[in-house]
A and B are shown apart, each in its own frame.
Chain A
């Protein structure tokens, strides 16, 4: 309990530091505030174009697609706020930047993520929430207590799944000793697989993205369940998120033993 209090205290202090840093470089933040929402709004406009042309994608109409797209972007935004560091783990490994974390009396993985919050991630939240709200309106989503709970569980689970996958991918750097910049690739892959119905992909790919790399549980399955009136998918998302994150943390711990710092 004492330990949890300490970790929360450290996190909150670093939230403050992140805000102070943002205020130090306001132009940087404004830049992101403009560019990030535009990127996702344009992405959504593409869907509108496709739907206008073909009516539906795999039986999903415009409202359903907005609902799905919204969940994908919101969980992406949270994963950017809390776990974006995972993309750059290779840099830290090669540059010897884990030294500092190992010298402090806190979990290394905790410090890696929670001592440098990415406030810029909030700019992704804006288009996410807008499109999601629009989708909810279109499909007449009922905001009952159960549904609110389900959405919260689902966003938490989806964020954990994304974060866990970033950690697992980044952890390979401990052995390859390379910078392994997989940011662009991951973003592209996650976008393509979470913003559209998974059912439009080949069967083999659906199986992989359901049972091996649990990307389907980020948005597709829980959204599908919610649209048909059950929160079951959201609960499963959360469970898979917790499991993915736990496995990722254990894997990271193993990787850290092979950490070689930099220089001699």
Chain B
């Protein structure tokens, strides 16, 4: 059974149109014009158990709105959502008992008190058995080193430490589904590394189904097998990252450095640049592998060095956003 099923999901907002100036403001009191904004426009997808999926898309694309509907915060205009077979609007309490949610821009920790107090609070709210609580805390301490910050008031934690705290708080009740809304936003390299490691480990150890929204392409490359790209409320791409890259950018470049200026040609590769003894070939991954091409060339001439230039993932994403 799929852990998450979303079918024909739509969310519309009424946006009041305001006219400018004082005259406009008075007019607005009597005549209200609304424009319907379709933030999420007929989205469908399913996510099997234990998968890590990234939701990406430009700002205002509808990612967060979708996550908020899936977690029971917003009521959809139409469409169906099932999380573990239950509807998050009709059955909110049951759904959230088995759901962890972290918003990168917002904390659920108690600002005034030591971090540990927030964890205890979760224990009471989710009725977590003592043994399970201790066990989870220990597992997560091994990954995130939470013990060293557990006695610091939340307001004095750095952003990276606070994020670690938020992740732990969201996982203490061992939810089978975890939603992460921009979990690495604003974090430094160390912070991002810790968060990604945590996500990978939790997914491996507990088989948690994870959806994350992000603008950080490093998150996607390191974590996600599957990518859902949303733009203007619609899904424009859905599939494995590799497949997307191969489809949007099927060609790769191979840069070969020769000992002198005598270079060779190859029937499955096009020479796109020659600079002294450095030659750039372009080839299609469908026709020949990078290794095959290097092999062929080195058979025909002596070469000093060869590098395959991967396409930059941001370029791929940019092309995908354009639709």
Query: A interface vs B, CB < 8 Å?
Result: 6, 9-10, 13-14, 17, 20-21, 24-25, 96, 98-100, 102-106, 257, 259-261, 263-264
Main secondary structure of the interface of B (DSSP, over half): mixed
Contact status B113-A259, CB under 8 Å: no
Chain A contacts for B65, CB-based, 8 A:
264
| Contact for B110 among A10, A17, A106, A264, CB less than 8 A | A17
Q: A13-B121, A260-B13, A264-B39 are in contact. Are A103 and B71 (CB under 8 A)?
A: yes
Binding site for A on B (CB under 8 A): 13, 39, 60, 62, 64-65, 68, 71-75, 92-94, 96-97, 99, 101, 103, 106, 108, 110, 112-113, 117, 120-121, 124-127, 153
Q: Do the beta carbons of A6 and B127 come within 8 Å of each other?
A: yes
In angstroms, how far is the closest chain B Cβ from the Cβ of A11? 9
- Inter-chain CA distance A14–B153, complex, in Å, is 17
Decide if A105 touches B126 in the complex (CB within 8 Å): yes
Which of B73, B94, B121 is the one whose CB lies under 8 Å from A17?
B121
Please, which residue of chain A has its CB at the minimum distance from the CB of B93? Answer: A105
Q: Please name the residue on chain A nearest to B16 by beta carbon.
A: A177
Chain A residue numbers with a CB within 8 Å of B13 are 260
Q: Are A25 and B112 in touch, CB under 8 angstroms?
A: yes
Q: B125: which of A99, A104, A259, A260 is its contact (CB, 8 Å)? A: A104
**A261 touching B68, Cβ below 8 Å:** yes
Supposing A100-B108, A105-B97 touch, asked if A259 and B121 sit within 8 A by C-beta, the answer is no
With contacts A21-B112, A100-B108 taken as known, whether A105 is within 8 angstroms of B96 at the C-beta atoms is: yes
A260 contact set on B, CB distance < 8 A: 13, 74
Contact of A263 among B64, B97, B112, B121 (CB under 8 A): B64
- The answer, among B68, B93, B103, B113, for a CB contact under 8 Å with A20, is B113
Which of A21, A259, A260, A264 has most B Cβ within 10 Å?
A264
Having A96-B106, A98-B73, A105-B97, one finds 12 other A-B pairs with CB under 8 Å, namely: A10-B124, A17-B117, A20-B117, A21-B112, A99-B73, A99-B103, A102-B71, A103-B73, A103-B101, A259-B74, A259-B75, A261-B73
Chain A residues with Cβ under 8 A from B74's Cβ? 259-261
Could you tell me the distance between the alpha carbons of A100 and B109 in the complex, rounded to whole angstroms? Answer: 10
Cβ-defined contact, B72 with A103, below 8 A: yes
A96 partner residues in chain B, CB cutoff 8 A: 106
**When the two chains form their complex, are residues A99 and B106 in contact, meaning their CB atoms are under 8 A apart?**
yes
Contacts of B126 in A (CB 8 A): 104-105
